[in-house]
Amino acid sequence: MNGIATQVAGLIDKKHEGSNNFLLKLALVTSLSGLLFGFDTAVINGALISLVQQFNLSAWDTEIAAGSLLFGAMVGAAIGGRLSDRYGRRRMLSASALIFAASSGATALAQTLEQFSVARFLGGIAIGAGSVLAPLYLAEIAPADRRGRIVTMNQLAIVIGILIAYCVSWALASTGPNCWRWMFGIGIIPSIALWGGLFFVPESPRWLIQRGRTVDAERILATITSPESAHRQIHEVNEALQAEFGLRQTLWTKPLRRPMLIAIALAVFSQITGINTVLYYGSIMFQDRFSGQSATASIAINVVVGAVNLIGTIVSLFIIDRLGRRFLLISASAGMAVSLVSMAACFFLQRTSAALVVLSVLSYVTFFSVGMAPGMWAYISEVFPNAVRGRAVSLATGSLWSATLLVTVTFLSLTKRFGVSGAFLIYAALSVLSLLFVWKMVPETRGKSLEEIQQLWEYSPTLMAAEE
């Protein structure tokens, strides 16, 4: 982890070495929320095999067990942005860390499916709120030329959390029928680390400006950039807030309609193209496809998937601010569509080698991790004005969790109705729709300040769409 942090510190920008350490500290602490997000959404993958056996779960019960966290995440995402607009980004992140710690302990101690589902629901509230607040905070503290990389650090933490969940599940899978309890209980550790680390993280300077605490905001911005740049940003934010006054009552005024619809669509497309069928049901899917394979071996394949997911996200750190969000989203949608067709063919043809199945899955995960996930998170965290950013990101992220829930609770039913190959062909078609949507509707935002993006939406959205 220290090695990755060192690489990222150099990647942020060698021209800004004076502020790199402070900015990196803020990003690393805040991104622990992303690690919790990744760990808790993925740990169910390895735990499901033991849960199904211990609680004698039907297919519907299994979908409820996997989806209970997502119901909570929808609630957390819906309220997280609004509460952060009122009480601050940092304070609400602290609250979500404590709720997550309590949920991890309750999940590990659950004696029935009902208790398990309630505990996971509470954890989902924390994860949903954190999924709004972490990228929101990172976008608000990051300089324009480094914002994509800084926000992508949260996605990097998510995939590290996923990989840790897979590794923990793999290590514990052979320890007995109660191994799933330890898998969930370990989540207490990073949640307490996040809560403690936030004592050393300042509030978002843009939120402070909205609250009239300009001196505190300027001090923080000066540490991140320079006193001259901080003074200029304070002026720009104040001007933007004056222009935004009429936006405070609704998210659907004319200047906001297009970014709102695009953000929601990107969030939904990132999920309905099927990524969580691999992340949540991978162990069951591989075990069913290759009969006779042990639970430990199935989970071991997930570790490889998690490692590829991590490598792809690291690659995105190098290219997101060079190639831009639009290019990554288009390329990812195309690559995912091709990979999903290959996966469908592999599951349709019974004699397909295990290596080809795994390679198709890894190709799909690579395109998602390099382009779709970081491009989507960067985009929805940066396209909204200061006055409504919390509520707007909350709505977009809530749409993401709704789509995640839809995929999670329908995948096993889809495979019964159309087979695994048929389900993957549906996700491939949705990937093509994602490509067409980005190509026609999504403008480029790289290199622009948050206030410049606001002006472009309001005054010249068509010109903005044409920019590369």
Q: Which residues make Cβ contacts (< 8 Å) with residue 253, sequence separation at least 6?
A: 246, 247
- At 99, the pLDDT band (50, 70, 90 cuts) reads very high
Q: Would you say residue 121 has pLDDT above 60?
A: yes
- At 326, the pLDDT band (50, 70, 90 cuts) reads very high
Q: Would you say residue 164 has pLDDT above 50?
A: yes
What pLDDT is attached to residue 9? Answer: 45
- At 251, the pLDDT band (50, 70, 90 cuts) reads low
Looking at the chain, the whole-number percentage of residues with pLDDT higher than 90 is 30
Highest mean pLDDT among 36-50, 389-403, 421-435: 421-435
**Mean pLDDT throughout 57-66?**
79
What pLDDT is attached to residue 296? Answer: 61
CB count, 10 Å around CB of 215? 9
The domain over range 7-201+244-466 is classified in CATH as 3.40.50.300? no
**Mean pLDDT throughout 157-180?**
84
What pLDDT is attached to residue 11? Answer: 46
More confident of the two residues 85 and 196: 196
What pLDDT is attached to residue 288? Answer: 62
What pLDDT is attached to residue 295? Answer: 57
**Mean pLDDT throughout 459-468?**
42
Q: Would you say residue 438 has pLDDT above 90?
A: yes
What pLDDT is attached to residue 466? Answer: 39
Q: Which of 204-218, 294-308, 326-340 has the lowest average pLDDT?
A: 294-308
What pLDDT is attached to residue 19? Answer: 62
Q: Would you say residue 463 has pLDDT above 50?
A: no
- Domain ranges, ordered by start, for the chain: 7-201+244-466
What pLDDT is attached to residue 18? Answer: 44
**Mean pLDDT throughout 17-21?**
60
What pLDDT is attached to residue 385? Answer: 78
